[in-house]
Amino acid sequence: MLVSALMALPESLAQQVRGRRRAFRRRILQWVAANLRSYPWRGSDRTSYQILVAELLLKRTTATAAAKVYEGFLSRFPSMQAVADAPLSSLEEALSRVGLQHQRAKGFKEAANYVVAHGAIPGDHEALSRVPHVGPYSAAAITSFAYGVPAAVVDSNVERILKRVFRTALPDKPNRALLEGLAWELLPLEEHRQFNWGLLDLGALVCRYVRPRCAGCPLRDVCDFATVTEGDRQTVGSVKG
């Protein structure tokens, strides 16, 4: 974002971000060093095409399922031009193991036709968002993971982390724009890839929707949700005693 998102945040939330940002970043990056999941599309050497393929594959399926077809798809269709030139039936065959192959094949074809018509995969977030079937989330992922340009990657897992960590400073039902602004303000400029991967994995593995593992969370001491949860446990324990 060219203009600091912090300027647009409510003052109470902005103060919370200023007070916790350094610790938040440090804890995520430390956790990543030992806990980051390994997927074939992760790595600083992946191209924008390779990341775009991953993002399209990951829609409405699991990372485990996407990983099973990822390398094979790249070998068979090594460029957007190859996807644009391929018969729809060939794309469907390559995507059959992840399901919804007809819809996925059409999505790949429409994205490829757009990119080929415009000459290349765009290099900025706004232009990437206009590629069919990409959208703001995938545009941020391509910007950060492929181009190495800081961009906050905010999916439902990341939203859940932010809503829990800043629970007392956020409204009851924060909108996506507010959460994205918050994510941008927490984003480090130098290690944004690892930070983004870390948030995605932390939300999937630790800060889960059901039965979050607060005791083992690296953000526990800066998180409103964990503090409230711990307080509830202590209250229950004192009553039982």
Over residues 172-190, the pLDDT tens digits come to 999 999 999 999 999 999 9
Of 14-18, 128-132, 231-235, which gets the smallest average pLDDT?
231-235
Residues recognised as catalytic: 55, 137, 155
* pTM of the shown model: 0.89
Both structure tokens of 114 = 């757009």
Closest CA to 106 of 118, 123, 89: 89
Go through the domains of the chain in sequence order and give each one's CATH number. 5-38+152-229 (1.10.1670.10), 48-145 (1.10.340.30)
pLDDT digit string, tens, across residues 65-84: 999 999 999 999 999 999 99
Which tens digit of pLDDT belongs to each residue from 120-142? Answer: 999 999 999 999 999 999 999 99
Mean pLDDT of the 99-122 span: 96
Percent of the chain whose predicted confidence (pLDDT) is above 90: 85
pLDDT at residue 5 in the model? 54
3: left (phi over 0), alpha (psi -120 to 50) or beta: beta
SS (H, E, C) 133-171: CCHHHHHHHHHHHCCCCCCCCCCHHHHHHHHHHCCCCCC
What pLDDT does 229 receive?
A: 61
The pLDDT-based confidence of 3 (bands split at 50, 70, 90) is: very low
**Per residue in 179-223, pLDDT tens?**
999 999 999 999 999 999 999 999 999 999 999 999 999 999 999
